[in-house]
Amino acid sequence: MTRSAVFAPFELIEGDRKRGIVLLGDHAKRDLPEEYGDLGLPAGEFERHIAYDIGVESVTRRLAELTGAPALLANFSRLLIDPNRGEDDPTLIRQLYDGTIVPGNYPMAPEERERRLDRFYRPYHDAVGALVASVAQESGTAPFIFSVHSFTPVMQGHVRPWHVGLLWDRDDRAIAPLIELLAADPAVVIGNNEPYDGALRGDTMFRHGTANGYAHVLVEIRQDLIAEERGADDWAKRLAPIVDAVNARPDIHRVSHFGSRTGPV
């Protein structure tokens, strides 16, 4: 984990916006601004999934390199504020996460909550929105948004058998071809809306995909497969031609308002 007195809330990895692809890493990093110290937590907690999605930064960087697409990474730990939640979500700033109490988040004054929204959360989403709009303009088509996350092999004593999960709400245009292409390797166990349900109103895919009618998917890779650089590189190489193939489908680049299981857009 790194700290800096001058803290940028996001990192943009430039790429060819004419490709029509946007890569995102909401939970790629575990960093905190210097003023927040360690939120009262021991260093070991920042090695866990509660601080970030293990392996995602490496996968996303390599995927951007292989596809030539631009990518945006949130620079702050989800323990500070979670960019993949709506502003009214009770888990936006966690005070208790997977058995760990976060002292720096409790109590949380309304002024501090608003400060984190203004300094970190909103600038990140403004940057995502700007990138999506720029890709739409430069490609002349509706973008394909591909968000990279990772999940723990075991959660609350339950072993998760999937190697990769594809999360979505109502817009399934990318899902069937992704499943078909991933299933070309029979050893890969694929979760369809596993280990989580993709219908989460206010999350990144809802705000920038569903609400705009843009094809999108949130891909979850099991963390033990990408925790080391070699595994992250292997998965980026596996995903890159698949992303390219899905991106080549004409239906992916049409605006389609499917609505949402979480309510009207």
pLDDT at residue 22 tops 60: yes
CATH classification of the domain holding 214: 3.40.630.40
The rounded distance, in Å, linking the Cα atoms of 221 and 231 is 11
Flag whether 258 is in a domain: no
For the cut 70, the answer to whether the pLDDT of residue 3 exceeds it is: no
pLDDT tops 60 at residue 4: no
Residue 260 lies in a domain: no
Residue 5 domain-assigned? no
Q: Tokens at residue 31, please?
A: 């960093």
Give pLDDT, residue 1: 66
Instruction: Kindly state the tokens that stand for 113.
Output: 């909550």
Q: What percent of the chain has pLDDT over 90?
A: 92
**What pLDDT was estimated at residue 150?**
98
Residue spans of beta strands (DSSP E) within the chain = 10-13, 21-25, 71-74, 96-97, 100-101, 144-151, 154-155, 158-159, 164-167, 190-192, 216-222
The answer to whether residue 1 is domain-embedded is no
Confidence category of residue 260, pLDDT binned at 50, 70, 90: confident
How far is residue 265 from each of residues 52, 68, 74, 113, 126, measured CA to CA in Å?
A: 29, 31, 25, 26, 19
Q: Answer whether residue 259 is part of any domain.
A: no
Could you tell me if residue 265 is inside a domain? no
Span 39-92, pLDDT tens digits: 999 999 999 999 999 999 999 999 999 999 999 999 999 999 999 999 999 999
**Per-residue DSSP letter, 48:** S
Q: Which domain holds residue 219?
A: 10-253
| 188 domain residue, yes or no | yes
Number of domains in the chain: 1
Average pLDDT over residues 149-169: 95
Other CB atoms within a 10 A radius of the CB of residue 213 amount to: 16
Q: Which has the closest alpha carbon to 16: 147, 134, 123?
A: 134
Distance, C-alpha 85 to centroid of its chain: 11
Query: What is this structure's pTM?
Result: 0.96
Average pLDDT estimate for 202-206: 96
* pLDDT tens by residue, 181-202: 999 999 999 999 999 999 999 9
- Strand 154-155 and strand 158-159: pairing? antiparallel
